[in-house]
Amino acid sequence: MEELFKSFDKVHKAATVLAKSSDSERQQALRSIAEALNSKKDEIFAVNRQDVENARKAGIPGAILHRLEFSQEKLRSVSGGLCELALLKDPIGRTREKRELDPGFILEKRTFPIGVIGMIFEARPDALVQIAGLALRSGNGIILKGGKEATLTNRFLVEIIKKATENCSFGSDWILGIESHEDVNCLLKAEGSVDLLIPRGSNAFVRYVMDNTRIPVIGHADGICATFIDESADQALAVKVCVDAKIQYPAACNATETFLVHEKIAPSFLPVLNKALTEKGVVIHAAEDCLPYMPGAVKATDKDFHTEYLDLECAVKTVSSVQEAVEHIQSHGSHHTDAIITRDKANADVFVSDVDSADVFVNCSTRFADGFRFGLGAEVGIATSKLHARGPVGLDGLMTTKWILTGNGETVAEYSGPDGKPFHHKELV
Amino acid sequence: MEELFKSFDKVHKAATVLAKSSDSERQQALRSIAEALNSKKDEIFAVNRQDVENARKAGIPGAILHRLEFSQEKLRSVSGGLCELALLKDPIGRTREKRELDPGFILEKRTFPIGVIGMIFEARPDALVQIAGLALRSGNGIILKGGKEATLTNRFLVEIIKKATENCSFGSDWILGIESHEDVNCLLKAEGSVDLLIPRGSNAFVRYVMDNTRIPVIGHADGICATFIDESADQALAVKVCVDAKIQYPAACNATETFLVHEKIAPSFLPVLNKALTEKGVVIHAAEDCLPYMPGAVKATDKDFHTEYLDLECAVKTVSSVQEAVEHIQSHGSHHTDAIITRDKANADVFVSDVDSADVFVNCSTRFADGFRFGLGAEVGIATSKLHARGPVGLDGLMTTKWILTGNGETVAEYSGPDGKPFHHKELV
């Protein structure tokens, strides 16, 4: 334990050097990591096969095995992602505000890395590479704890990444892999070395982290996402979007779990939605008034409207207005991603204004809630709380700011009292 | 207690209406409050005299009585502040990012109020008016708990503010005053109605709040601020700034507590600093090697360098370089506000880059760390943590964002796989 805290300190020290490294050095480091991963790919795949084999023997379900597998396609995708991150504008040292308080007395709000991020995530080795890349690009040290099924792959990936940056000014200590539950409990106690925790997982796990640490936490929790099909919706477009939102990747947190349908279009729309979803094998839990239009559907209970299925299942109910749809989402949703399908601009505006979620979409699939699709390069998670970062968290969410005030000997006394000089507060950006 | 939770819910409901109110309605409301305060000023002063009298009888020290007193000058200042807030650009609905993912498929990150803020602050009735003004301007509901010595004044001020907005679309429930410790404990449990807590006070109090709530907290804690006088400093300028930083308002969190002096200028600078500060009645705790140059100074212990005096006292020591100054600040400071006095641009850059504080100043007084002086209109506090808001928290710190994606029936399936359409991610702002 003492040893581990020392390792956290080392990450902290390396992070202070990383924070000052040049844009081009970090860009080059990302490319070196991508090259190293490609040159070691056969070894990576071999180690990963061992993890998959162990997981299979342990009876881990297929969906998780699929996420655990580090395929050629995933390697191509993450190494491409590292090169794309290198091309994104340097997030360090950007001016967010600049104001002259008085001639020659300049205030600037400038971005700096947060410091050291502790990241706890599922058994997805490709996620490890993405997260490490985001940390490096944003100048933050990173401590990684992936799902235990991926232990061997993760250990090897961290080794490759460390090796690829060992000749950089910031060395290889900016990244550290940890493995056990005990290690995680140490991490939660590492206030002082660790500046931010990002746990991905169930609500219960995120809550456990929040309740057991004094380090700030950005929680990536449940996604109970809804799509509301308004009276004025283009129904063909609506069906296409609903199918995508439910079945394109049902295990994702941004998949739609609840469909809210305007009661006026229930007789025409519900049978079409029912057919499209059941053809794809979706089990439908429908409110009583929907059942006549949805043959084969199961009668929904209130619990269904609070459920994140993460599977080929969904809940359906009718609402009488956009306001009722908003109320349902506010009381049943998880403030993640919700969509309206409508041709009525006023209703779209009400929905966007009143649904208090990180992502609010009009006429498209909830599945677009994603850092890469948003153009953020990648994401470390999707934040559902309202502070600091909300929605997909990319480079920006890993930055803090400092206020830098540069003067020529100014004192507050000169600007105080009835005869004090006034501030002129002239905006410079 | 049940009643109080119902009141919190009412604030929450009013806040959702306030969040949608127009810029001009909120501007007018701020002006109405300023007018109402001015028209009731004699009654306010009478009630406030009662609070002051009660506090005096209870043996409350003079500095606190001074803050408790609501004078004509303070009234003029806060009502002027309300009118200035009305003139600041509307913080609601601003576009922070805008990007076309593909032609006609538009992503926008737009600002929205956080919701309901719970604010706990000292016995300063003028602060109540400022905080209420910031909440209203930013479209947030506010629950206020001021220091108990100001109970009568605060109760009356909240009554006046409520009355002044009762004919607005959002009514008068957007603001609520609470009074007892029990009320505060209810507030800490009001997850669901309250979105953010901002406690001002000692580190211990902020810690108590953080440890006893699941609501996010922006802590305004201690200010152990340092001013480093570098070898190349203009010494006359340095003395002027140091005196201001220490004595202009020693009870403020942004007053300098520690002076770090480059060892090479110790023989010339320390005697001058000693004279200037002792003339103003400052008690100096100096490290041993400074004592010969600072007649009358007390020998400092390590504790002095960890102390927030909030009074006419300070600690002084020498350092051998800007790096040593940075190290001292990193290990002894509170990441609030620190300054360097130098003519060496390279040393200023090192200081700005390496001191990990909310405010890092060059050649001016630490006392400038303040929302009004920064041009933010006012502040609800000075945040010393790194997430969401850092430094003086004005309107921006009271906003969250939503990602709004507007399309024409796009599905993720179309953009996936080897034949998927690419995103073009064209920046629009």
Q: What is the pLDDT along chain A (429 residues), one digit of tens a residue?
A: 889 999 999 999 999 999 999 999 999 999 999 999 999 999 999 999 999 999 999 999 887 898 899 999 999 989 999 999 999 999 999 999 999 999 999 999 999 999 999 999 999 999 999 999 999 999 999 999 999 999 999 999 999 999 999 999 999 999 999 999 999 999 999 998 999 999 988 888 888 998 899 899 997 778 999 999 999 999 999 999 999 999 999 988 999 999 999 999 999 999 999 999 999 999 999 999 999 999 999 999 999 999 999 999 999 999 999 999 999 999 999 999 999 999 999 999 999 999 999 999 999 999 999 998 999 988 999 999 899 999 999 999 999 999 999 999 999 999 998 899 999 999 998
Interchain contact, A195 vs B367, CB within 8 Å: no
Question: B352 vs A404: CB contact, 8 Å cut-off?
Answer: yes
B248, B400, B405 member nearest A411 (Cβ): B248
Instruction: Give the CATH number of the domain where residue A153 resides.
Output: 3.40.605.10
pLDDT the model gives residue B14: 97
CB-based burial label for A279 (10 Å; 0-12, 13-18, 19+): exposed
Asked if A99 contacts A425 with a C-beta cutoff of 8 angstroms, the reply is yes
Give dist(CA A29, CA A142) in Å, integer: 15
Distance CA B246, CA B313 (A): 8
Q: How far is CA B144 from CA A146, A256, B175, B181, in A?
A: 42, 39, 8, 12
Q: Is A306 exposed, middle or buried (0-12, 13-18, 19+ CB in 10 A)?
A: middle
> Taking every pair of C-alpha atoms in chain A, what is the biggest distance, in angstroms?
81
Which is more confident, B378 or B397? Answer: B397
CA dihedral over A224, A225, A229, A234, signed as positive or negative: negative
Place of tokens 């190293």: A36
**Whole-angstrom distance, CA of residue A285 vs CA of residue B315:** 69
Asked if residue B240 is part of any domain, the answer here is yes
Q: In Å, how far from its chain's centre is CA A169? A: 29
Does one domain contain both A285 and A187? no
- The residue of chain A nearest to residue B398, with distances taken between CA atoms, is A387
For A144-170, b where at least 16 C-beta lie within 10 A, e where not — what string? bbbbebbbbbbebbbebbbebbeebeb
Q: Of the candidates B180, B183, B152, B181, which has an alpha carbon nearest to the alpha carbon of residue B11?
A: B183
Q: Contacts of residue A409 in chain B, CB cutoff 8 Å?
A: 234, 237, 240-241, 363-364
pTM: 0.92
Q: Residue A407 falls within a domain, yes or no?
A: no
In this complex, the residue of A360, A390, A413 whose CB is nearest that of residue B248 is A413
- Residue B415: both structure tokens together: 């953009």
pLDDT tens, position by position, A396-417: 999 999 999 999 999 999 999 8
Shared domain check, A188 and A86: yes
The per-residue pLDDT for B4 is 95
Tokens of residue B76, six digits: 């003029």
Which of A211, A392, A406 has its CB closest to that of B363?
A: A406
Contact A387 B400 (CB under 8 A): yes
Cβ of B216 within 8 Å of Cβ of A101? The answer is no
Judge if A111 and A147 occupy the same domain: yes
In this predicted structure, what is the pLDDT of residue B341? 98
B102 assigned to some structural domain:
no
Residue B99 lies in a domain: no
Residue B352: closest C-alpha in chain A? A404
Residues of A in contact with B365 (CB under 8 A): 410-412
- Give A350-355 contacts, CB < 8 A, sequence gap 24+: A350/A322, A350/A323, A350/A326, A351/A228, A351/A322, A351/A325, A351/A326, A352/B402, A352/B404, A353/B19, A353/B20, A354/A323, A354/A326, A354/A330, A354/B16, A354/B20, A355/A326, A355/A329, A355/A330
The pLDDT of B7-20, averaged and rounded, is 97
Residues B69 and B140 in one domain: yes
Distance from CA of A195 to the nearest CA of B (A): 8
The pLDDT assigned to A275 comes to: 98
**Is there a domain that residue A413 lies in?**
no
Per-residue DSSP letter, A168? S
What Rg value do the Cα atoms of chain A yield, rounded?
25
Cβ distance of B412 and A210 shorter than 8 Å: no
Residue in chain B lying closest to A216 (CA)? B387
**Terminal Cα distance for chain B, rounded:** 48
Q: Which residue from A minimizes the CA distance to B348?
A: A406
**Residue A298's domain is classified under what CATH number?**
3.40.309.10
d(CA A19, CA A112): 7
Chain B neighbors of A20, CB-CB under 8 A: 353-354
B93-119 pLDDT, tens digit each: 999 999 999 999 999 999 999 999 999
Residues A231 and A194 in one domain: no
CB contact (8 A) between residue B375 and residue A99: yes
Question: Is residue B170 located within the same domain as residue B286?
Answer: no
pLDDT confidence bin for B49, thresholds 50/70/90:
very high
Instruction: Give the residue from B208, B368, B428 with the most A CB atoms within 10 Å of its CB, the best one to mutate.
Output: B368
User: CB-hemisphere CA count at 13 Å for B63?
Assistant: 8
Residue B212: φ, ψ to 5°: -125, 25
Coil/strand/helix, residue A342: coil
For residue B238, the enclosing domain spans: 225-368
Distance CA A409, CA B242 (A): 10
- Whether residues B243 and B139 fall in one domain: no
Q: Spell out which residues of chain A touch residue B388, defining contact as CB-CB under 8 Å.
A: 387-388
The pLDDT, as a whole number, for residue A14 is 97
For residue B137, the one-letter residue type is R
Neighbours of A321 (CB within 10 A): 15
> Does residue B353 form part of some domain?
yes
Helices (H) and strands (E) in chain A, counts: 14, 17
What are the tokens at B33? 């409050």
Read off φ and ψ for residue A209, nearest 5 degrees.
Answer: -60, -50
B236, two tokens: 């006359």
Residue A61 burial (CB count, 10 A): 8
Inspect the interface and report whether the beta carbons of B364 and A407 lie closer than 8 Å. Answer: yes
Into how many domains does chain B fold? 2
A contacts of B408 (beta carbons < 8 Å): 237, 363-364
Give B12's contacts (C-beta < 8 A, 6+ positions apart). Answer: B115, B116, B141, B193, B194
Of A216, A356, A412, the CB nearest to B248: A412
Both A131 and A238 in one domain: the answer is no
Sign for the CA dihedral angle at A262, A266, A272, A277 comes to: positive
Tell me the shortest Cα–Cα distance from A403 to chain B, in angstroms.
Answer: 5
Residues A190 and A230 in one domain: no
Whether A415 is covered by a domain: the verdict is no
Backbone angles phi, psi at A408, to 5 degrees: -135, 40
Residues B17 and B166 in one domain: yes
Q: Judge contact between B306 and B318, C-beta under 8 A.
A: no
Number of DSSP helices (H) and strands (E) in chain B, helices first: 13, 17
With beta carbons less than 8 A apart as the criterion, state whether B120 and A391 touch: no
Q: Vertex A335, ends A330 and A337: CA angle to 5°?
A: 110
In one letter, which amino acid is B61? P
Q: Could you give the ipTM of this predicted complex?
A: 0.93
The span from the CA of A374 to the CA of B405, in Å, is 9
Task: Assess whether B274 and B346 both reside in one domain.
Answer: yes
Cβ atoms of B164 and B36 closer than 8 Å: yes
| Alpha carbon distance B27, B368 (integer Å) | 27
Spatial contact of A379 and A217, defined as CB atoms under 8 Å apart? no
Answer whether B20 sits within 8 Å of A353, measured CB to CB.
Answer: yes
Residues from chain A contacting residue B340 (CB–CB below 8 Å)? none
Interchain proximity B362–A404, CB inside 8 Å? yes
Bridge partners (DSSP) listed for residue A197? A118, A217
In this predicted structure, what is the pLDDT of residue A377?
83
Show the tokens assigned to B8: 């919190």
Cβ contact (<8 Å) for B195 and A386? yes
Can you list the positions of beta strands (E) in B178-312? 196-199, 225-229, 256-262, 283-286, 298-299
Of B361, B362, B409, the CB nearest to A364: B409
Quickly list DSSP for B376-392: SS--SEEE-SSSS--EE
pLDDT greater than 80 at residue B174 = yes
Radius of gyration of chain B (CA): 25
* A359: Cβ contacts below 8 Å, ≥ 6 apart: A254, A336, A337, A338, A366, A369, A382, A391, A392, B402, B403, B404, B405
Closest partner residue to B412 among A367, A405, A425, by Cβ?
A: A367
Which residue from B100, B111, B157 is spatially nearest to B137, judged by alpha carbons? B111
> How much is the average pLDDT of B263-286?
98
Task: Verify that B142 and B243 share a domain, yes or no.
Answer: no
The dihedrals phi and psi of B130, each to the nearest 5 degrees, come to -60, -45
Question: Which of B73, B234, B386, B388 is the best residue to mutate to test the A interface, defined by the most A CB atoms within 10 Å of its own CB?
Answer: B386
- For residue B97, being part of any structural domain is answered with no
Report CB contact under 8 Å: A360, B404.
yes
Cα B366 to Cα A405, B241, B242, B309, distances in angstroms: 9, 9, 9, 15
Strand pairing category for B337-341 and B225-229: parallel
pLDDT in tens, A10-65: 999 999 999 999 999 999 999 999 999 999 999 999 999 999 999 999 999 887 89
d(CA A19, CA B353): 9
